[in-house]
Amino acid sequence: MGRYWRPATLGEALDILHQERPRILAGGTRLVRGATPADWDSDLLDITGITALQGIAREGDGWRIGATTSWTALLAAPVAALRQAALTVASPQVRHQATIGGNLAARFASADGAPTLLALDAVLEVASAGGRRQLPLVDFLGGAGLAPDELLTAILVPAAPLTGFAKHGSRQAVNVAEVTAAVRLDIAQGRVRGAGLALGGCLEAAQRLPLLEAALLGQPANASLADLVNAEALAHLPLLDDFRAPAGYRQDVAVTLLRRLLGALTRQAAA
Ligand SMILES: Cc1cc2nc3c(=O)[nH]c(=O)nc-3n(C[C@H](O)[C@H](O)[C@H](O)COP(=O)(O)OP(=O)(O)OC[C@H]3O[C@@H](n4cnc5c(N)ncnc54)[C@H](O)[C@@H]3O)c2cc1C
């Protein structure tokens, strides 16, 4: 059995991380996956006692989501896509324990937080004993890592009134995603002024769809917007082709989910 710390302050946690380099433990729901007896000799830094890392607060025009905010807390998030994603994650028991920070830091293909926050232009706040920095989520998912003495402290999310998330898998509950899609639309005077579209579950890491986003800009925000999404628009993506689902099937599902989300958001904007 390794050593175990559960500090009450971020400063204490960062000092321990700097000096002892333990593994970070948040909800532990991903960390335990595939753990072997040897893993239990690891030193663990439990960050769930640090209140500064918990909860959702206003920051500027947007929101600051503490890294140990649970998926249960995200069921009441002020951003629709996050609420919708939280509803699809695991089961009530796991959602109560699992954190958004652990979801992103674990870097796995079916992490539901990744496409959702990517479409929202989220930025990670990272801290070490040496100071704080910000890291755009798009860079983190593209491979930019955290240093061994760094902790993800919060996710910064710009305000976004029109957002949505959808997930498809082989069952309704405790569902590992075959495809997830997230959309953010900024509509002014009946036209698309800004768009964030992202896919997850069907790629090694969630990705934005910049070509499709560019095609949406300036278009009338009505039912015809969804017609811009087709197989050709997603053909360049290296979709996963594995035991969960073939790439062609994932592509069909991705088109359907994105179309549905665009349709729902344009109807919402018109209402
Ligand atoms: C039954 C079951 C069903 C699941 N279903 C889903 C699902 O539907 N969708 C989904 O997305 N996930 C699912 N998961 C995976 C997992 O529960 C979630 O992704 C969860 O959000 C992980 O958070 P955690 O706090 O438990 O992470 P942990 O297990 O505590 O940590 C995961 C990794 O991130 C690191 N880490 C954690 N927090 C930080 C931080 N603040 N800074 C730096 N590194 C950190 C840890 O060191 C570890 O390497 C499921 C898991 C289980 C067991």
Q: Is 103 in the pocket of ligand 1 (CB under 6 A)?
A: yes
The b-or-e profile of 29-45 (16+ CB within 10 A means b, else e) is bbbeeeeeeeeeeeebb
Q: Per residue in 100-120, pLDDT tens?
A: 999 999 999 999 999 999 999
Q: Report the topology of domain 162-270.
A: Enolase-like; domain 1 (3.30.390)
CA of 155 to the centre of ligand 1 (A): 15
Q: Per residue in 55-109, pLDDT tens?
A: 999 999 999 999 999 999 999 999 999 999 999 999 999 999 999 999 999 999 9
CA of 194 to the centre of ligand 1 (A): 31
For the chain, the average pLDDT equals 95
Pocket mutation for ligand 1, best pick of 14, 31, 155 (most atoms within 8 Å of C-beta): 31
Domain boundaries, the chain: 162-270
pTM: 0.96
Distance CA 231, CA 100 (A): 31
Q: Per residue in 237-261, pLDDT tens?
A: 999 999 999 999 999 999 999 999 9
* pLDDT for 203: 97
| Protein residue closest via CA to atom 3 of ligand 1 | 90
